[in-house]
Chains A and B, each alone.
Chain A
């Protein structure tokens, strides 16, 4: 019940295209859903996050869509660029469990020029 399932495992997108990564969860107590971006040799860095009281959040080319009833959320990267090539992790946390983040397995995104 603590798992966060992420798909796809890898994704190849052409420059200018839309990248879409999906995550699903079971624990309805989760109340915070961030996405992290990780470049090789670096630690994950917070990209964008959403709480379950909103259905969408947009920051620049990055958008989170959240479907509370389906217990799913997704990351959309518009106008994907080669510099977006990285591994993306979704995560979730439950305040009553100390706010510790549970991560998805990650998606390796490659944006081809």
Chain B
């Protein structure tokens, strides 16, 4: 298995632009998680899905952030408009539903976002 695949690996954009981050989870995994990593705040859970349905989006910082999971093999995290404080590494992770007790998270390699 190729693991969790995220794209792009790096993104540099200007303030005010729309940014879309993409994630392909491991086939057969039913839970998908979006995390943000910064030096100041560490790893923060933004949102997670179970069977393509958003379960908890309480970590989404504000309305500028949105996430979708149109099918079991694809998810997006969109920031519109982007701001410099959104600069961070964004990770996607997936896990099998029967292990959704936090077991067996597999993380992607992340997208490093820089907003200038």
Q: Which residues of A contact B (CB under 8 A)?
A: 31-32, 34, 41-46, 49, 89, 91-93, 95, 98-106
Contacts and interface: CB of A to CB of B under 8 A. Distances in A.
B100 interface: yes
B42 A98 contact: no
A16 to B, nearest CB: 30
Interface string B65-97: 000000000000000000000000001010000
Interface of B: 4, 31, 33, 42-43, 45, 48, 50, 55-56, 91, 93, 100-110
A41 to B, nearest CB: 7
A60 to B, nearest CB: 19
A89 B42 CA distance: 9
B103 A32 contact: yes
Contacts of B101: 31-32, 93, 95, 99
Contact of A43 (B31, B45, B48, B93): B93
Given A98-B56, A100-B33, A100-B56, A44 B43 contact: yes
B73 to A, nearest CB: 18
